[in-house]
Amino acid sequence: MGILDLDLYAPDIPAMLGIAQGIAFLLTNGHAIAGFGSTYAQIGTSTIDGFPGAVIIAAGAFLVLHLMLTRTKLGLHIYAVGGNAEAAAYAGINPGRVKLIALMISGFTGGIAGLILTPGPVTQDVGE
């Protein structure tokens, strides 16, 4: 992703979706995957002391990311590059590296969302 985004200037989302779809097709040979264990099914649907597990996971991810963005050097660099990448480069920050890290963080949070949402009742036509 970093090469497509930073060197070839490909749009983030279409490039990511194309790569993800290709990897998924290779790993599954085009077949749907079903039958995850009961523990996995409880991740997004369980409750802990009356609070939905999905809310607790999301709140934890929010807290960690908020602390990272507001209390670390990386967070300051992300804000600087997001505000003006050219000025950040003049200040000695490597915008390409920071953009790649931000893209990785974005993918990680998307993975958390997928982890929460996939055990729920989802139906899909796989074109059989």
| Token pair in block for residue 35 | 């039958």
Length of the chain, in residues: 128
Q: Identify which of 60, 35, 30 has the alpha carbon closest to the alpha carbon of residue 48.
A: 60
Per-residue model confidence as pLDDT tens digits over 53-107: 888 999 999 999 999 999 999 999 999 999 999 999 999 999 999 998 998 899 8
Q: Identify which of 56, 58, 53, 95 has the alpha carbon closest to the alpha carbon of residue 78.
A: 95
Measure the CA–CA gap between 114 and 31, rounded to whole angstroms. 19
Average pLDDT, integer, range 15-43: 77
pLDDT at 5 over 80: no
The radius of gyration computed from the CA coordinates of the chain, to the nearest angstrom, equals 19
Q: How far is CA 37 from CA 1, 28, 29, 72, 121, in A?
A: 31, 18, 21, 38, 14
The model's confidence at residue 33, banded by pLDDT at 50, 70 and 90, is: confident
